[in-house]
């Protein structure tokens, strides 16, 4: 289930949105790059008709245990089904989340989603994004 919880405006992009979802298997591309991600099932997200700007966000990932992690959250791109990918790199997390529920809280819009010409460019940008998340969410 995904839901919107009290949002506030931060410039032209909304923050304060929370997305609840079940972790599913993704394509393991983030893991292959050295940045594993938790991929959320998007079906309930689409049923809530949330309008969230595609891009990279600084935010929090809260596990059902109550443990919270700073997270680099990716919303997008839109796939063949017309839904955006929803995934998060939980900073400092080690373990298996498949089948578990997680709440992602969007705190700051960092940048738009974009394609990269090489994996090295992508890795460098992910490192910069994670550093921004760490600096913003201390």
Q: What is the pLDDT of residues 42-91, one digit of tens each?
A: 876 665 667 788 999 999 999 999 999 999 999 988 888 888 899 999 99
Write out pLDDT tens, residues 84-122. 899 999 999 999 999 999 999 999 999 998 889 999 999
Residue 34 pLDDT more than 80? yes
Q: How many domains does the chain have?
A: 1
Residue 28 pLDDT more than 80? yes
Residue 72 lies in a domain: yes
- Tell me the pLDDT band of 11, cut-offs 50, 70 and 90: very low
Residue 17 pLDDT more than 60? yes
Residue 2 lies in a domain: no
**Class of residue 135 by CB neighbours under 10 A (exposed 0-12, middle 13-18, buried 19+):** exposed
The reported pLDDT for the residue numbered 80 is 86
Residue 78 lies in a domain: yes
Residue 75 lies in a domain: yes
Nearest to 89 by CA among 17, 20, 39: 39
pTM: 0.86
The reported pLDDT for the residue numbered 58 is 97
Backbone angles phi, psi at 111, to 5 degrees: -170, 165
The reported pLDDT for the residue numbered 1 is 38
Residue 1 lies in a domain: no
- CATH number, domain with residue 124: 2.40.30.30
Residue 3 lies in a domain: no
CA distance 82 to 80: 5
Residue 12 pLDDT more than 60? no
**Class of residue 98 by CB neighbours under 10 A (exposed 0-12, middle 13-18, buried 19+):** exposed
- Domain range for residue 19? 8-136
């Amino acid at each position: 289930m995904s839901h919107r919880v009290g949002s506030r405006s931060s410039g032209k992009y909304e923050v304060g949105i929370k997305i609840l979802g079940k972790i599913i298997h993704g394509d393991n591309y983030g893991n292959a790059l050295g940045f594993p991600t938790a991929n959320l099932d998007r079906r309930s997200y689409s049923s809530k008709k949330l309008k969230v700007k595609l891009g990279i966000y600084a935010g929090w990932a809260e596990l059902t245990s109550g443990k919270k992690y700073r997270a680099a959250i990716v919303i997008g791109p839109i796939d063949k089904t017309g839904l955006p990918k929803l995934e998060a790199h939980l900073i400092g997390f080690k373990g298996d989340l498949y089948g578990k529920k997680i709440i992602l809280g969007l705190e700051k819009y960092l940048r738009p989603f974009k394609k990269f010409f090489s994996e090295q460019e992508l890795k460098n940008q992910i490192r910069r994004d994670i550093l921004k998340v760490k600096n913003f969410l201390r």
